[in-house]
Amino acid sequence: MIVSPACLADALLASASDAIIATDRDGAVTFWNPGAERIFGFSSDEAMRQPLDFIIPENLRARHWAGYRHTMETGVSRYGTGDLLSVPALTKSGQRISVEFTIVMLRDERGLPDGTVAVLRDVTRNFAEKLALRREIAELQRTPRSG
Q: pLDDT at position 128, please?
A: 64
Q: pLDDT at position 135, please?
A: 79
Q: pLDDT at position 80, please?
A: 63
Q: pLDDT at position 146, please?
A: 64
What is the residue-level pLDDT of the chain in tens, covering all 147 positions? 888 889 888 888 888 789 999 999 999 999 999 999 999 999 999 999 999 999 999 999 999 999 999 999 998 887 767 778 889 999 999 999 999 998 889 999 999 999 999 999 999 977 667 777 777 788 778 877 665
Domains of the chain: 18-142 (3.30.450.20)
Are 117 and 20 spatial neighbours (Cβ–Cβ below 8 Å)? yes
What are the b/e assignments for 41-53, b being 16+ CB within 10 Å? ebeeeebeeebbe
Please tell me whether residue 146 adopts helix, strand or coil conformation: coil
Taking CA atoms, 39 is separated from 15, 35, 61, 123, in Å, by 12, 6, 19, 10
Q: pLDDT at position 35, please?
A: 96
Q: pLDDT at position 147, please?
A: 57
Taking CA atoms, 71 is separated from 23, 60, 74, 78, 113, in Å, by 12, 17, 5, 9, 8
What gap in Å lies between CA 58 and CA 43, rounded to an integer? 21
User: On the CB side of 65, how many CA atoms lie within 13 Å of its CA?
Assistant: 14
